[in-house]
Amino acid sequence: MQDEIRLNKYLATNFGVSRREADKLIEDGKVLINGKVAKIGRRVGVNDKIEIAGKEITAQKLVYIMLNKPKGYVCSRKRQGDTPTIYELLPPEFQSLKNVGRLDKDSSGLILLTNDGDFAFQMTHPKFVKTKVYDVKLDRDLEPLHQQMIADFGVSLPDGRSQLGLTRLSDSSRKDWEVTMSEGRNRQIRRTFDALGYKVTYLHRRIFGSYLLGKLPEGKYIEIDKK
């Protein structure tokens, strides 16, 4: 029927997982449709009852949030010691949203949150190549040779080569840089500079894919449209 959709898409939309994760749940026999174990490729309509672990999965309104994360907050649901989480900046109705990509405690800037698993997957999986742009300050001037190494050849890290786009933010300083990347490895920017003997003292994300932080105040959020 025309109003039916594939089960994995339904779960991605309404259960906050990627389609790949949805397929795994179906393959493992954890998804029921009208009381019967679902099969891969099944389509569902508005009258079907979908359950996972005894919980009915109902259609929900999709929500997309852009937050300007302050330094000193972690992207997790539980505090790490006395360190607050980004969810403490959000009202109760947004507490169940999942963050799309992370920023470490010492970094600030653009964070996306959503209950749309498909959207989260498309924003974070390497095959979709989402560009991210950061303002970065170093503890000392970046030597031209090291600039060339990072931008042209990449720096070897334990989890692979790291190559970053670099643009000076000031003609009078070699500490301040705009860093462009499409990967999302853990603390990649910090580790790249650290491998060459530099410490990142400031890291702020301004752009994530087609989303721009703009003038959103620190610690504030806005609802956005899916692009």
pLDDT tens digits for 17-36? 888 899 999 999 999 999 99
Same domain, 111 and 219: yes
The 8-class DSSP code of residue 23 comes to H
Same domain, 121 and 216: yes
At 157-168, the pLDDT tens digits run 999 999 999 999
**Token pair recorded at residue 11:** 């779960």
Report the distance separating Cα 15 and Cα 190, nearest Å: 34
Same domain, 111 and 155: no
Same domain, 145 and 114: no
Angstrom CA distances, 105 to 19, 176, 187, 216, stand at 30, 20, 10, 19
1 pLDDT tier (thresholds 50, 70, 90)? very low
On whether the CB atoms of residues 202 and 185 are closer than 8 A, the answer is no
**Token pair recorded at residue 211:** 């989303």
Q: Where are the beta strands (DSSP E) in 58-169?
A: 64-69, 98-100, 108-114, 132-138, 155-157, 160-162, 165-168
Q: What is the pLDDT of residue 110?
A: 98
* Tokens 């853990």 sit on residue: 186
Same domain, 96 and 140: no
Instruction: Please report, for the domain that includes residue 200, its CATH number.
Output: 3.30.70.1560
**Token pair recorded at residue 180:** 């462009």
Instruction: Please report, for the domain that includes residue 32, its CATH number.
Output: 3.10.290.10
Q: When comparing pLDDT for 117 and 89, which is higher?
A: 89
**Active-site positions?**
104
Same domain, 80 and 108: yes
At 125-171, the pLDDT tens digits run 888 889 999 999 999 999 999 999 999 999 999 999 999 999 999 99
On whether the CB atoms of residues 18 and 119 are closer than 8 A, the answer is no
Same domain, 217 and 203: no
Q: What is the pLDDT of residue 45?
A: 87
Angstrom CA distances, 141 to 46, 145, 175, 181, stand at 60, 12, 5, 21
At 184-217, the pLDDT tens digits run 788 999 999 999 999 999 999 999 999 999 999 9
Among 5, 24, 25, residue whose Cα is nearest residue 13: 5
CA dihedral 93, 97, 101, 105 (to 10 degrees): 50
Instruction: Please report, for the domain that includes residue 71, its CATH number.
Output: 3.30.70.580
Report the distance separating Cα 92 and Cα 134, nearest Å: 30
Same domain, 216 and 107: yes
The 8-class DSSP code of residue 83 comes to B
Same domain, 100 and 153: no
Same domain, 90 and 70: yes
On whether the CB atoms of residues 173 and 111 are closer than 8 A, the answer is no
At 62-72, the pLDDT tens digits run 899 999 999 99
Same domain, 40 and 96: no
Report the distance separating Cα 51 and Cα 36, nearest Å: 10
The predicted model scores a pTM of 0.81
Q: What is the pLDDT of residue 143?
A: 97
Q: What is the mean pLDDT of residues 108-129?
A: 91
For the chain, give the percent of residues with pLDDT over 90. Answer: 70
Alpha carbons within 13 A on the beta-carbon side of 221: 22
Domain span at residue 15?
5-56
Same domain, 203 and 216: no
Say how many domains are in the chain.
3
